[in-house]
A and B are shown apart, each in its own frame.
Chain A
Amino acid sequence: MVVCSHDFSALARSVARACGVDDPRLVILPHPLGSLPDQAIKTIIRRGHDEIMSVLTGKKRYTEVA
C-alpha cells in the first residue's frame, strides 16, 4: 500500500508500474503535508482512518482522504 499526498500520486503510480505493480493500493492525502503541525496530520489520519484501513486490508484499492 502506498500513502502519499495528492501531488505525488503520479510519481507513486509510475514507480509502482516500474516495479511491476500496475494497480497499486493507494491512499491519497491532502497536499501539502510537510508543513503541517503534527496535530493537523493526526486529525487528517483520524478522519480518514476507516478508509485507510479499507485499503490496507484490501477491501478497497484506492481512497482519497480530504
Chain B
Amino acid sequence: MAVADEIVVSGSYDAIYEFCLQQGWTDGLPVVPPTRERVGAMLEWTDRDADEVVGSIPPLNGHASIRKIAANAVMAGCRPNYLPVVITAVEALLDKGFNLDAVQPTTGPITQLVIVNGPVARELGINAGTTAFGPGWRSNATIGRAIRLILVNIGGAKPGEVNQKTQGQPGMFSLCAAENEARSPWEPFHVEHGIPAEHSAVTVFATFPGYDIHEGETANDILTNLSRETGGMTRKLVNGGEHVVALCPEHAQILASAGFSKQQVKEFLWQHAGAPLAHLVPYFQRLARLRRANVFQVESGDDTWLPIADRPDQIHVIVVGGTSRHSTYFPCFSYSRFASRRITNHCGQAIRSVKDLFRNS
C-alpha cells in the first residue's frame, strides 16, 4: 500500500478489523480505528506539533511523528491523556544505548518493559499493585500495547519478516506498569537515577520473559534464593548485561527491615549470583570466553567465577506488585541498556500533570 495521509475504509467494524489485519497493522487483536476525530482528540493532550518527528524507528527507519504516535495510541485503545507517556516512551526507546536496531530484529524473545514513575503514573491510574504485569487495567494494557504497535507499524518489525523472534513472548502484546512507590521502602527508580521525585519519568528495558521468585521468610532466604535462581541462567552467565529485579512489596520490606538499602541488594546479587565456568557445557564455555573476555583477564580456568552482571549498577531493582511474596526477575537483552526520560512539555520542562499539556485547558 502506498503512503497516504488518510486512508478511507468503509464497512462494518469487522471489515475494518480485517482490513487492518491484512495490512499487518495489528498484534492480532482488534484495534480501535484511528479516525480523524479520535486522533484529533488524542493530539489535544500534547503541546508538540503533530508533524514533529520524534525520531526514526529502526530497523526500517519509519518516521515517528507525533501524529503517527497518536494514531497508534488510538489503535491500542489508549485514553487521550495517556499520549504524553507514550511519546516519552518512544523517546526513551530511541536512546542509542537502548539499541533498538538490535532489539527489533533479534531472534531472542525480547520485549519492552515500560515502567512509569512519578505523579503522572498515579494521575493516569497506571497500576503498580496486584496484577500490575497482567491484565485488568486500561492504562497498563494500552500504553504497553501502543509501544508495541509503534514498533511494528512505524519501525516495520512485522512478525515473520523483519521481526524474526524464534518464538516471541506474551509480553510482546504489552508489558507496562508503574513502580509501587507507595509501598517501596526505598527511593523510586527515577529518583535513584537523578530525577526529582516530583517529576514523572518513563523507563524502558529490553527484557526476556520474567521468572517468578517466590516465598522466603528472611532477607537471607530471599537474596540467596534470588542469587541461586538467577545464577544458573546460561544466557546471563554467557552474555552478561543488565537485569531487572521487580521485587514485590513484601520482599522489599523484609530486605529493608533487615537493613538492606537498594544498593546493598544490588551488591549482594552481584557478588553471589553467578556460577563457575565449569557449570556451562563446553559450547557455552567457548561463548562465555569470547563474550565476557573481561571476566577472564585475571583467571581463565574452569573454576573462573562468572557473575551474572559485571557491576552492581547493571542490576536494576524496582518495587511492583500487591499481596504475597512473588517477585519477578527479568533478564535483559545483553546488547541493550535501559533508558529513562522525564515527561516534559515541548520546551523540555518537567510537567506536574498531563493537564499541563492539554491544549484546551
Contacts of B105 in A (CB 8 A): 11
Contact present for B61 and A19 (CB under 8 Å): yes
Q: What are 16 A-B contacts with C-beta separation under 8 Å?
A: A8-B164, A10-B162, A11-B59, A11-B161, A11-B162, A11-B164, A14-B59, A14-B60, A14-B161, A14-B162, A15-B60, A15-B162, A18-B59, A18-B60, A18-B62, A18-B156
Cβ-based interface call for A7 (8 A): yes
Q: Mark A6-24, 1 if CB is under 8 A from B, else 0.
A: 0110110011011100000
- Interface positions of B from 135 to 179, Cβ below 8 Å from A: 156, 161-162, 164
CB distance from B243 to the nearest CB of A (A): 24
Residues from chain A with Cβ under 8 Å of B60 in the complex: 14-15, 17-18
| Chain A nearest Cβ from B166, distance in angstroms | 10
Q: How far is the CA of A10 from the CA of B60 in the complex (A)?
A: 12
A44 to B161, CA, bound (A): 25
For A15, the chain B residues whose CB sits under 8 A away are 59-60, 162
Instruction: Quote the shortest CB–CB distance from A35 to chain B (angstroms).
Output: 8
B25 to chain A, nearest CB (A): 16
Q: If A14-B156, A18-B156 touch, does A7 touch B164 (CB 8 Å cutoff)?
A: yes
How many residue pairs link A and B with beta carbons under 8 A? The number is 24
- A side interface size, CB within 8 A: 9
Contact call A10/B161, Cβ cutoff below 8 A: yes
Q: Which chain B residues border A19 with CB–CB below 8 Å?
A: 61
**Nearest Cβ distance between residue A36 and chain B, in whole angstroms?**
11
Give bound CA distance, A18 to B60, whole Å.
5
Contact with A along B34-61 (1 / 0, CB 8 A): 0000000000000000000000000111
Q: Closest residue to A19 on the B side, CB-wise?
A: B61
| Complex CA distance for A14 and B162, rounded to whole angstroms | 7
Taken together as a complex, chains A and B put the C-alpha atoms of A48 and B236 apart, in Å, by: 35
Apart from A10-B161, A18-B61, A18-B62, 16 more pairs, CB < 8 Å:
A7-B164, A8-B164, A10-B162, A11-B161, A11-B162, A11-B164, A14-B59, A14-B60, A14-B156, A15-B60, A15-B162, A17-B60, A18-B59, A18-B60, A18-B156, A19-B61
In the docked arrangement, what's the CA distance between A17 and B62, Å? Answer: 12
**Cβ of A14: which chain B residues have Cβ within 8 Å of it?**
59-60, 156, 161-162
Closest 6 CB pairs of A and B: A18-B60, A15-B59, A18-B61, A14-B162, A11-B162, A10-B161
Complexed CA–CA distance, A10 and B159 (Å): 12
Instruction: Name the distance in Å between A54's Cβ and chain B's nearest Cβ.
Output: 27
Alpha-carbon distance between A8 and B160 when the two chains are bound, in angstroms: 10
Provide the residues of chain A in CB contact with B59, threshold 8 Å. 11, 14-15, 18
Task: A46 to B59: give the CA distance in the assembly, Å.
Answer: 31
- When chains A and B are docked, how far (Å) is the Cα of A18 from the Cα of B105? 14
B161 nearest in chain A by CB position: A10
A4–B59 Cα gap in the complex (Å)? 16
A19 to B61, CA, bound (A): 8
- What residues on A are CB-neighbors of B164 within 8 Å? 7-8, 11
